[in-house]
């Protein structure tokens, strides 16, 4: 059972919701798929037990065999190989690993090589399994790490996937095959605009969704009206509260504190009510 937490807009409270829900669920898996800027471990503070590097395939051009015909550069759709001044130059960060260059090289001058783009950490906080991916600074693409992370999200435990902001390949790869999407928004014109993007995205992938309004207040109707029109359940609200902001700023959980735990308990209870049946029975 996989529950993705996403938003479209950055900073609406995805990690806040994801880590506090994981804390309340207890025996589950928290997976931080925001490999560019992961934050979840700040709040869960897991004891790290395993670290593994994430490698991607890159071509290695043997310059001694290379005839500089440039067929590889011609083929490469991603501009990862350039044919310049009768030299062939590789830009590893742009390589998408299709291995087309290896196939087209008439000299057999290109071999498969590997390079490290980041790492995955696995740890435990009580009985919560905590997994995250971290992209190396300077690397453009986090998708290979997200794909590797997803291999750890097998059945057996409920997995809460803390997704990146945005709407493109990183998010698609995070939420694919999820059973449910928890959309975290803020009650502003900007929050609504990006919520619409997130709704279209999960709709395109056929994933049922529910909404949580963070920084909830007088303007909630902006979101409520939209949810009503779209038939998307509103699963809870976290109020706009400077005390909540302060606790968050210190890197602390909210769900373990009496004055704030209720908000997340309500979200969890409402979530259980709308989850697809087979999964609901695991909760």
Partner 1 sequence: MKQVAIVSGKGGTGKTTISSSLSVLAENIIVADCDVEAPNLHLIMGGNDISKEDYVGGRRAEIDPGKCIECGKCSSICKYGAIEGYSVNQLKCEGCGVCSLLCPEGAILFKDKKTGETFVTSCNGTVFSHAKLDIGADGSGKLVTKVRKNAMEYARGGEKVFIDGSPGIGCVVIASITGCDAVIVVTEPTYSGLEDLKRILSTCKHFGVEPYICINKYDLNNDMALEIEKYCQEKGYQIIGKIPYDERVLEALKAVRPVVEFEDSRAAQEIKRMYARIKILLEEDTDDIGYC
Could you list the residues that contact partner 1 (CB under 8 A)? Answer: 8-12, 15, 36-37, 39, 42, 75, 77-78, 96-100, 103-104, 135, 137-142, 164-172, 188-190, 193-194, 197, 200-201, 204-205, 219, 242, 245-246, 248-251
d(CA 142, CA 146): 6
Cα dihedral angle (155, 158, 159, 160), rounded to 10 degrees? 160
Q: Where are the beta strands (DSSP E) in 7-109?
A: 29-32, 47-61, 81-84, 87-90
d(CA 224, CA 255): 24
3-state secondary structure of 99: coil
| Closest by CA position to 190, among listed 14, 10, 57 | 10
CA atoms within 13 A on the CB side of 177: 11
Contact in structure between 139 and 8 (CB atoms under 8 Å): no
Looking at the Cβ atoms of 107 and 167, the one nearer to partner 1 is 167
For 201, the token pair is 């995205």
Looking at the Cβ atoms of 129 and 194, the one nearer to partner 1 is 194
Contact in structure between 283 and 272 (CB atoms under 8 Å): yes
Looking at the Cβ atoms of 150 and 275, the one nearer to partner 1 is 150
Minimal distance in Å, beta carbon 245 to partner 1?
Answer: 6
Minimal distance in Å, beta carbon 279 to partner 1?
Answer: 23
Minimal distance in Å, beta carbon 126 to partner 1?
Answer: 20
Looking at the Cβ atoms of 77 and 277, the one nearer to partner 1 is 77
| Cross-strand bridge partners of residue 216 | 239
Minimal distance in Å, beta carbon 218 to partner 1?
Answer: 9
Minimal distance in Å, beta carbon 246 to partner 1?
Answer: 6
Minimal distance in Å, beta carbon 268 to partner 1?
Answer: 22
Q: How open is the CA angle 29-168-154, to the nearest 5 degrees?
A: 25
Looking at the Cβ atoms of 196 and 266, the one nearer to partner 1 is 196
Looking at the Cβ atoms of 225 and 273, the one nearer to partner 1 is 225
Minimal distance in Å, beta carbon 252 to partner 1?
Answer: 9
Minimal distance in Å, beta carbon 64 to partner 1?
Answer: 25
Looking at the Cβ atoms of 177 and 259, the one nearer to partner 1 is 177
3-state secondary structure of 162: strand
State the alpha helices, DSSP H only, in the chain. Answer: 14-25, 40-44, 71-75, 100-104, 143-150, 169-175, 189-204, 221-230, 242-249, 258-274, 277-280
Looking at the Cβ atoms of 245 and 269, the one nearer to partner 1 is 245
């Amino acid at each position: 059972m996989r529950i993705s937490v996403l938003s479209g807009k950055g900073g609406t409270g995805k990690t806040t919701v994801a880590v506090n829900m994981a804390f309340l669920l207890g025996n589950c898996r928290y997976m931080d798929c925001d490999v560019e800027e992961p934050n979840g471990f700040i709040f869960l503070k897991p004891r790290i037990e395993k670290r593994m590097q994430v490698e991607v395939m890159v071509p290695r051009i043997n310059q001694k065999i290379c005839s500089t015909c440039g067929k590889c550069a011609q083929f490469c759709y991603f501009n990862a190989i350039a044919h310049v001044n009768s030299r062939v130059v590789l830009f590893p960060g742009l390589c998408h690993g299709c291995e087309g260059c290896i196939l087209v090289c008439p000299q057999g001058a290109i071999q498969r090589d590997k390079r490290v783009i980041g790492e995955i950490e696995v740890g435990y906080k009580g009985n919560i399994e905590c997994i995250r991916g971290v992209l190396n600074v300077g690397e453009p693409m986090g998708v290979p790490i997200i794909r590797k992370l997803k291999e750890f999200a097998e059945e057996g435990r409920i997995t809460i996937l803390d997704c990146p902001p945005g709407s493109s390949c990183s998010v698609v790869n995070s939420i694919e095959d999820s059973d449910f999407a928890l959309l975290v928004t803020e009650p502003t014109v900007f929050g609504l605009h990006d919520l619409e993007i997130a709704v279209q995205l999960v709709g395109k992938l056929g994933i049922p969704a529910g909404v949580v309004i963070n920084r909830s207040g007088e303007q909630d109707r902006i979101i409520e009206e939209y949810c009503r029109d779209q038939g998307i359940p509103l699963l809870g609200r976290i109020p706009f509260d400077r005390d909540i902001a302060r606790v968050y700023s210190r890197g602390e959980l909210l769900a373990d504190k009496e004055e704030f735990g209720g908000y997340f308990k309500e979200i969890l209870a409402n979530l259980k009510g709308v989850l697809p049946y087979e999964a609901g029975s695991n909760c």
